[in-house]
Amino acid sequence: MSLGGLATSVICSRDRRIKAGVNMDGALPVASVHGRHQIPFLYLNSERYLGCGLLLVSQSTKDCYSLSVKGSVHNNFTDYSIYPVPMVRMVLGSIDGNKTVEIMNVVIPAFFDKYLKEKREIDVIKKAKAYSEIEIVTNKD
C-alpha cells in the first residue's frame, strides 16, 4: 500500500523470481511502467489514480488489472476506513469504509488464489464487477 505499492511495482518489473504482484494505491513509477510487467499484476487504487490503469495495462505482457474504487481516497486503503472516530472521516472519501475493506478482502485474495495457487477457475473481473464502485481496466478478454 502507498509507498509499498510503488516499491512492489518496481520490484515486480525487475525481479523474475516474483510470480504475481499487487499495488494498493501506490504511484506508478516510470521504471515499472516501461519495464513491462511480465507477471500477473493487480493495481487497486483510489480515484486519484483514475486513468493510470490504462497505461499500466497497455504495458503489461501478462494478465493485468487496474481497479479504481470510486469515492475512495488514499486513506480508504488503510485501517482509517473502519476507525470508529468521527474526526477520521475527514481524511476519507465518500465510499463507506466497510465497503473498501470488503473490496480488498474479496479481490486481492481472489487474484493471488488465481495466480499463485493456480486456481484458474477464479474470475478476478467477475469478482470486481460485483462492486458498482469499481472501474475496471484490464487486458483480459
Average of pLDDT values for 43-67? 87
- pLDDT tens for 57-116 read 888 889 999 999 999 999 999 999 998 888 888 999 999 999 999 999 999 999 999 999
Average of pLDDT values for 36-60? 85
The whole-number pLDDT of residue 34 equals 60
- pLDDT higher at 36 or 119: 119
Residue 32 banded pLDDT, cuts 50, 70, 90 = low
Residue 29 banded pLDDT, cuts 50, 70, 90 = low
CATH number at residue 52: 3.40.50.1820
> What mean pLDDT value characterizes the chain?
90
Domain count, the chain: 1
Domain of 8 in residue numbering reads as 3-138
* Own/partner pairs, 136-140, CB within 8 angstroms, 24+ separation: 136/65, 136/66, 136/67, 137/53, 137/54, 137/57, 137/65, 137/66, 137/68, 138/57, 138/63, 138/64, 138/65, 138/66, 139/57, 139/58, 139/60, 139/63, 139/64, 140/63, 140/64, 140/65
